[in-house]
Amino acid sequence: MKSGNSHSKELVFEKTEKLLLSYGVKGWNVNDLAKECNMSKRTLYKIIGNKEDLLYEISLNSISKNINNLKKYLESNSPFPLLLQNLSDQIINSFDKITLSNIIALRIEYPRIKEMGKSKENSEKDFFIDFFQKGKNENCISDNVEASTIHKIVHALIEYHIYNCDNKTEFKNEMKEVLNAYFNGILR
């Protein structure tokens, strides 16, 4: 198997996600992954660098994909109230099972991944604020709250639930309850 080959990289990503789901971030090493992929460790290192590089690339891909989906949604042409009403589902679905069950461990173990996540959040922040500002301009949201404050509240609610829900179902249910209540409240 040649290194750098996109098919083998895809295989490594797939097997890594399997290991992440079964054993979390710390419960496996590059040896285990090599066995899973049926490759030598040497070949594996050529394809993905070390474990941190691999997890960095997987996190970056996943965060970028989720942010792009959200961006597309927020910039779409549907009426603002409709977009706001379905925004909680969009946000919840932007967290896949692998991300949700490993995001805390990834942030603790790999500060570089945490920093990358933060810088991605900053780009997300901008188009969230643009979206809420559009709602204000179209008179759909109350005048006396700033778009940036709405974003701060939404961001805090998301982060709180990432750290305090025990599983995907609880995350989904709690997030749906608080985000829907909040979005309904700001809609005129």
Minimum Å gap between C-beta 11 and a second copy is: 38
163 binds a second copy (CB under 8 A): yes
Q: Report the residue number, 50 or 184, with the smaller CB distance to a second copy.
A: 184
**Nearest approach, Cβ of residue 39 and a second copy (Å):** 39
| Neighbouring residues of 108: CB distance < 8 A, sequence distance ≥ 6 | 114
Stretch that binds a second copy, among 7-15, 21-29, 83-91, 172-180 (CB under 8 A): 172-180
CB of 160 to a second copy, least distance (A): 4
- Interface with a second copy, residue 146, by CB under 8 A: yes
| DSSP bridge pairs for 141 | 187
CB of 99 vs a second copy, minimal distance in Å = 19
Are 154 and 186 in contact by the 8 Å Cβ rule? The answer is no
48-56, 64-72, 98-106, 175-183 -> range binding a second copy (CB under 8 A): 175-183
Rounded distance between C-alpha atoms, residue 4 and residue 178, angstroms: 45
User: Quick one: which of 160, 167, 170, 173 contacts a second copy (CB under 8 A)?
Assistant: 160
Buried b or exposed e, range 3-29, using 16+ CB within 10 angstroms: eeeeebeebbbebbbebbeeeebeebe
The least CB distance from residue 142 to a second copy, in Å, is 6
Nearer to a second copy, 19 or 187 (CB): 187
Contacts 24+ apart (CB under 8 A), 49-57: 52/110, 52/112, 52/113, 54/12, 54/16, 55/16, 55/25, 55/106, 55/110, 55/113, 56/110, 56/112, 56/113, 56/116, 57/13
Interacting residues with a second copy (CB under 8 A): 142, 144-146, 149-150, 152-153, 156-157, 159-161, 163-164, 174, 177-178, 181-182, 184-186
